Amino acid sequence: MPIYDYIYGTVDKNSNTLYENSVKRKEESPNVVHLTHLTTPESIYHLRLGFAYLASKPYSSVWYLWLLWPVTLWFMVLTKIYRRTFVVERNRFDQIRLQTWAIPTYRVQGEELNRYGEVYVKKHPQLKVKLVDGSSLAVAVLLNSIPKGTTQVLLRGNLTKVAFAVTFALCQKGIQVIVLREDEYEKLDKSFGTKSEDNLVISKSYSSCKVWLVGDDLTEEEHRKATEGTLFIPFSQFPPKKLRKDCFYHTTPAMQTPMALENVDSCENWLPRRVMSVWRIAGILHALEGWEEHECGYTMCNIDKVWEACLKHGFQPLRVPIQSKS
């Protein structure tokens, strides 16, 4: 905190020269860029450039940030005017240089507008940068988060690319997938064709199902109908609200990072320290493995290959909060 050295007259004047020399050096070109964005007006304070204290802990709402609302409103106006990405974190992993860029907006385009990034690949067919959405690794982590011995799971939430892929993989493994809504059943069944359709079931009776795969659009009413001891495993990037004290909640798809990953001084959203979302890890794996294909649109990488590469480079699965059978 050099500001205090300036206030009390204890600053080392040689540091000025050091600073001037450091800013003259060429900006490093990253091997991997992870794009993120603000989620709430006060989320900017949870970035490393906001308050380091808040950035070092999982995201949570704190009352005293309401006192900064005049400043927060100014930041919101500034993001509307500035409209450029900015670097919020720089990391190294072996010889790979990583950067996290924040987009100054509070929402991003969804599937209906960019088709999971496919629109950019088609618009720029000579694009040298590889686009990676991380869906394959998300599916791999979800499959390995389901307790061994599970025979059926309930799927509830908006049907995303990950939801379709994990449902198909579970049916292929002989695990019954229960859905509650007819429109969801029809969409999933249509995407499967004739394969594994016997393991996809629509039912209003799900009291015996102790493992739920949940995404956005899970209603509070549905949430409260789960039986005691149910394990909620989110397949979305946003976790469900923890409404039940008698149930168990896993994290959004994520893994523990290896110690070789340097300069990790802040938490990613609501995840614990040194835990990284799979959507971010997937880009790192592509660079480490030298994979040349895009993973966007409705394409998927080989799930087993991605999972094995992840473990090989030291990323570790998180402990599931309960081992249950259903």
Domain of residue 177 covers: 126-326
Spatial distance between the Cα atoms of 273 and 258, rounded to a whole number of angstroms: 12
State yes or no: pLDDT of 133 exceeds 70.
yes
- Return mean pLDDT, the chain: 88
Q: How confident is the model at residue 197 (pLDDT cuts 50, 70, 90)?
A: low
- Tell me, yes or no, whether 60 and 160 share the same domain: no
Tell me which of 80, 108, 136 is where a domain ends.
108
234 pairs with which residues across the strands?
214
- Beta carbons of 151 and 128 less than 8 angstroms apart: no
The whole-number average pLDDT for the span 297-307 is 92
- Tell me, yes or no, whether 92 and 174 share the same domain: no
Least confident of 22-31, 68-77, 203-212, 279-288: 22-31
pLDDT at 127: 87
- Tell me, yes or no, whether 97 and 203 share the same domain: no
pLDDT at 325: 45
- Tell me, yes or no, whether 198 and 284 share the same domain: yes
Spatial distance between the Cα atoms of 128 and 258, rounded to a whole number of angstroms: 28
Identify whether 97 is part of a domain: yes
State yes or no: pLDDT of 2 exceeds 70.
no
pLDDT at 91: 93
Q: What burial letters (b/e) apply to 84-93, b meaning 16+ CB within 10 Å?
A: ebeebbebeb
- Tell me, yes or no, whether 70 and 171 share the same domain: no
73 or 1, which is more confident: 73
CATH assignment of the domain containing 299:
3.40.50.720
Identify whether 143 is part of a domain: yes
71 or 25, which is more confident: 71
Q: How confident is the model at residue 187 (pLDDT cuts 50, 70, 90)?
A: very high
Tell me which of 40, 73, 108 is where a domain ends.
108
Task: Indicate the residue type of 15.
Answer: S
The whole-number average pLDDT for the span 149-160 is 94
Tell me which of 82, 108, 134 is where a domain ends.
108
Identify whether 118 is part of a domain: no
What tens digit of pLDDT does each residue of 110-123 get?
565 567 778 888 88
- Tell me, yes or no, whether 179 and 247 share the same domain: yes
- Tell me, yes or no, whether 34 and 8 share the same domain: yes
- Tell me, yes or no, whether 206 and 90 share the same domain: no
pLDDT at 301: 93
| Residues whose CB falls within 8 Å of the CB of residue 282, separated by 6 or more in sequence, listed in order | 132, 133, 134, 136, 137, 138, 295, 306
- Tell me, yes or no, whether 299 and 261 share the same domain: yes
What is the domain count for the chain?
2
Spatial distance between the Cα atoms of 32 and 172, rounded to a whole number of angstroms: 33
pLDDT at 236: 93
- Tell me, yes or no, whether 70 and 153 share the same domain: no
Q: How confident is the model at residue 196 (pLDDT cuts 50, 70, 90)?
A: low
Identify whether 119 is part of a domain: no
What tens digit of pLDDT does each residue of 242-295 get?
999 999 999 999 999 999 999 998 899 889 989 999 999 999 999 999 999 999
- Tell me, yes or no, whether 152 and 84 share the same domain: no
Report pTM.
0.86
State yes or no: pLDDT of 323 exceeds 60.
no
